[in-house]
Amino acid sequence: MSDVATFWNQRFASPEYAYGDAPNDFLRQQAGRLPPGSKVLSLGEGEGRNAVYLAGLGHQLTAVDAAWTGLAKLLQRADAAGLAVTASLADLEQYDQGEAQWDAIVSVFCHLPTPLRRQVLAAAVRALKPGGLLIMEGYTPRQLAFGTGGPKDVDMLLEPAIVQDELAGLELLQFAETERKVIEGSFHTGRSAVLQVVARKP
Ligand SMILES: C[S@@+](CC[C@H](N)C(=O)[O-])C[C@H]1O[C@@H](n2cnc3c(N)ncnc32)[C@H](O)[C@@H]1O
């Protein structure tokens, strides 16, 4: 098993939800942009809070993650809610997002080392259908001063100018570095520096 899978399997091993059971605040604010019945891919979905939320709105969800403990919790909560979510156990390095497949791709606090993030975002641009949306939130390097969650390695944080470059090919509908209170489970615990993105494939 990879180091990434080992780390995240441990984090999700306890019955509590590490990032809470409510969906991410930014995703909730942006979800109204999705047309009814959208086909949505969630990258690094973890324990399912965002996928189950979107499935509950009537969208068709595929969730990919390297941690089976997270996906097991996702499937349990989807089942309890009577919702269908497709769970794919895979490292994003190997996962094939396909070509012009998705009405939306969601990435919430899915922090990856820079070379892998470049690869995954380039693949996401290809994998969106024309008109499809990327909805993404993650911590910027300014988050290191807050210490309220996220990776401590600056290479895994979202520097807006770099991410903008990585999203070449998409039209930026919203692209803002901002500070907000992120209270999402026991690992995201306060005032934070985040990048919030909504981008559309022309
Ligand atoms: C901070 S958690 C966020 C989980 C979820 N998006 C949420 O907001 O609740 C980061 C997630 O990314 C996943 N992840 C990190 N690196 C990955 C990789 N290389 N391939 C697949 N999943 C990965 C982890 O397993 C974990 O579920």
The confidence score (pLDDT) of residue 186 equals 86
Does any ligand 1 atom lie closer than 6 A to the CB of residue 19? yes
Q: Distance between CA atoms of 58 and 75, rounded to whole angstroms?
A: 16
Using most ligand atoms within 8 A of CB, pick from 10, 110, 119, 148 the residue to mutate for ligand 1.
Answer: 110
Q: Is the whole model's pTM more than 0.85, yes or no?
A: yes
CB 190, CB 148: distance < 8 Å: yes
Domain holding 99: CATH number? 3.40.50.150
Q: Which amino acid is at 171?
A: E
Q: For the chain, what is the domain count?
A: 1
Q: What is the pLDDT of residue 181?
A: 95
- Output the CA 82–ligand 1 centroid distance in Å: 24
Domain hosting 174: range is 3-200
DSSP strand pairing (102-108 vs 128-139): parallel
139 lines ligand 1 (CB under 6 A): no
What's the rounded Cα separation, in Å, for the pair 126 and 76? 31
Which residues in the chain come in under a pLDDT of 50?
none
Question: Residue 32 Cα, ligand 1 centroid: separation in angstroms?
Answer: 24
CB of 136 shorter than 6 A to ligand 1: no
Closest ligand 1 atom to residue 49 Cα is 9
Question: CB burial class (10 A; 0-12, 13-18, 19+) of residue 15?
Answer: exposed
Ligand 1 center to 154 CA (angstroms): 17
The reply to whether ligand 1 has any atom less than 6 angstroms from the CB of 91 is yes
- Tell me how far the alpha carbon of residue 35 lies from the centroid of ligand 1, in angstroms: 25
